[in-house]
Structure 1
Amino acid sequence: MGFAFTRQRNIGKQVRAIAGEQIDKALAECEATGKSLDETVHGLRRRCKKMRGLLRLIEPHFKDFVLENRAFRDAADGLAGARDSAVMVETFQALLAKDIQRGTKARLDAEQAGRVLRRLQERLGEAAGSGDGRDLLMAFAGLMRAAGKRVEDWSIRGSGFSRIGDGLETTYRQMREGMQAAMEDVTAAALHDWRKDTKYHWHHVSLFEGCAPELLAGRKTLLDDLGELLGDHHNLAVLDETLSGERGLAGSDIMAVQKLIVERQAELAERAFALGRQLTAEKPATLRRRFEDYWVLLPVEK
C-alpha cells in the first residue's frame, strides 16, 4: 500500500499495514546485495524515521508509543557509526564545492582542503574497518523482526479522524514552536530540534498525500527542501565538533574550515527561516481542519 493512507475506514488496520510494510522492506534491504554498506545503512535509517513519523501521528491514542518510539530510535542509532563518518566526508565536500565557487575569494587553499579531506577519508576508512557490517545488519534485522511481531497487536484508541488528527495537529504545532525557538536562539541545537518536528510533519503529509495529491505534493516538496536545509546545518555542526577534537590536523586548517562552516550555517539558517515562515503560516487548528476536509476525499472502502 505504500507509505500512505488509501481509505477512510479501518485506520488502525491501515497503520498496522503501513508499519508492517516498512519493516518487511527493511528486512529485505538487510538481505539485499549490490549496495554498499553505507547505502544500505542510509536506507535502513530512513525506514526507522518513517516508522517514528507514523508513531508520532498516532501518539495521543497509542499507549505503547514510548516503547515503540524508543525501539526504532535505538535500532537506527545502532547503525549510526557506520554512516556518520561518510556523512562528514560528504558534508565537507559540499562545503568545499561552495567555497570553490567563490573563485579567488575562496577561504580554503587547495593544500588545506586536501589535508582536511584526506583526514576525514582516513576516519571513514577506520570506521569501516572497525566492525563487521554483516553482523551490524543481522543485529538490526533481529530488532525489526521483533518489532514486526509487536505491530500485529498495535491498538489505537478512539474513533474517527481524531485518532490521527490529534497527532497531526500536535506535531505541526511543535514544528511552529520549534521554528520560533530557533529564531530567538539561533543555535545548532535549536535548529536541530526544529528539524526533527519538520521531518515528522513531512512524514505526516506523505501519509495524507493520497487524499489530495495535487495539493499536498507541493507542500511535501517544500517540507523536504526545509528538512534538507536544516539537515545540512546540523551536519556542519557535527563536522565542526568532529574537527574540534581532531589531532591529526593543524590548528590553522581547522580554524579555516570552522570559519567557513559559520558562514555557510548563517546562509542555511536564513533560507530555512524564510521557507519555514511560509510553511507554518496556518494555525494548527486550521491546518487540522484542512487535512480533515482532504481526508473525506479518500474512498470509504477500497
Structure 2
Amino acid sequence: MVGPRSDAMSYSFKSSDADVAAGLRRIAGEQLDTALAALEIGRGTDDDMHERIHTARKSAKKVRGLLRLVRPAFPDYKAENRAFRDAARVLSPMRDLTARIESYDWLTERYSDALDRRRTGPFRAELTRDRTTAEGGNEITDRMMTMADAVRAIRQRVDDWTLAEKDWDALGPGMAKTYDRARGAMAVAADTGAADDMHDWRKRVKYHWYHARLLKKTWPVMMDAHRDAADTLSELLGDEHDLVELDKRLGRATIADDIAQQLRGIIVDERKRLGSLAFSQGAFLLAEKPKPLVKRWGTWWGLWREGA
C-alpha cells in the first residue's frame, strides 16, 4: 500500500493566480466542489459509495492542509478549520470500517504463506458485516447529507476569504510551523513508540505533504521529489495506524484463539517493520531545521512568481 500517489494538478498554486489570497480561494473552491459532487445522493451506485466518501473526506483534509499553510495570515482560520474538521468527522466511522477491511486484505496477502485464510476468513466476514450493519437503513445517506450541508455552507463563504499578509509572508510562517511540528512529533514518537504518538506524527507529516503539493510548481524537479518522500512517509504511518485499528477489532473477533494470536503476532511484526521504515524515511525528510528550508522554498517561490 506504500508508494507515491497521483497528484491532481489543481491542488497547487498557479502562476495565473493574482495573489496568494486568490489562489487560496480558487484551490479551496475546487476541493469543496469535488467534495459536494462526491456527496451527491443518487449519484453513481452503492458499489462506489465508499470511494465517494473517501473522496469527500480527502477533499476536506486538503482544504485543512491549505488553511494551515496560510494560518498565521488567515483571520478566520480557527472558525473555518473547526468547520472542516467537524464536517469530515461525520463520515469518519464509515471510512474507518472500510480501512479495516483494506488493512486486513493487504496484510493477509502479504503474509499469505503464513496464514490460513480459511481460518482467518471468518474475521474478514465480521469486518464486512460491521460495515454492512453501519450502512443499514438511512444512516449512511443521512451522514453524507449532513456533511454535504456543512461543506455547502463553507463553500458559500470561500469567496469572501482574505489574508492579512501577501506573497511568501502569507505562506512561510504556516509552512514553518507545520514542518517544525512534524519534526517534534517524530521525536516524541521515537521516544515513546506509542500508537497515539505515531498517529499524531502521521497527521503532521500529511500536512507537510499537502504543503509540498501546494507549492510544487515553484520548482517541480525539486519539489516533486520532496512531495513523493513526504507521501511515502505518510503512507507508511497510515498503514501502521490502520493495523492498530485492526488489532483493536481483532480483540472482539469470534475466531479460534490460536489463529487470533497468530494474526496479532503478524500485526505486531508488521507494525515494527513499518515503524522502522518510517523512522528511516523521516530522518532524511525532516533532517533540516525549519529556518533554512523555509528560506529556500521562499526563494524558489519568489523566482517562480517573477517568472524566472
CA–CA separation in structure 2 for the residues paired with 1:155 and 1:242: 45
CA–CA separation in structure 1 for the residues paired with 2:31 and 2:118: 45
Please name the residue that 1:166 is paired with: 173
Larger CA deviation: 59-68 vs 160-169: 59-68
CA–CA separation in structure 1 for the residues paired with 2:204 and 2:140: 31
TM-score by length of 2: 0.90
Q: Is the 8 A contact 1:6 1:298 kept in 2?
A: no
Cα deviation per residue 1:163-221 (whole Å; 9 max; x = unaligned)? 11000011001111111111111121111100001000000001100111111111111
Please name the residue that 1:55 is paired with: 67
CA–CA separation in structure 1 for the residues paired with 2:33 and 2:128: 33
Larger CA deviation: 199-208 vs 53-62: 53-62
Q: 1:277 to 1:16 in 2, by over 3 A?
A: same
SS at match of 2:62: helix
Q: 1:258 to 1:16 in 2, by over 3 A?
A: same
- Choose from 44, 47, 54 the match for 1:33: 44
- Choose from 101, 108, 117 the match for 2:124: 117
Please name the residue that 2:242 is paired with: 235
Map 1:229-268 to 2 at 5 A. 229-244=236-251, 246=252, 248-268=254-274
Q: Is the 8 A contact 1:161 1:292 kept in 2?
A: yes
One-letter code aligned to 2:11: F
Gaps of 5+ in 1: none
RMSD, aligned CA: 1.8
CA–CA separation in structure 1 for the residues paired with 2:108 and 2:284: 30
1:3 aligns with 2:15: no
Q: CA deviation at 1:59?
A: 1.1
Map 1:142-221 to 2 at 5 A. 142-221=149-228
TM-score by length of 1: 0.92
CA–CA separation in structure 2 for the residues paired with 1:163 and 1:193: 25
One-letter code aligned to 2:68: R
One-letter code aligned to 1:282: E
CA–CA separation in structure 2 for the residues paired with 1:15 and 1:126: 40
Gaps of 5+ in 2: 1-8
1:89 aligns with 2:98: no
Q: Is the 8 A contact 2:25 2:159 kept in 1?
A: yes
Q: Give structure 1 regions of 4+ aligned residues with deviation exceeding 6 angstroms.
A: none
Alignment length (residue pairs): 295
Cα deviation per residue 1:268-287 (whole Å; 9 max; x = unaligned)? 00000111101011110011
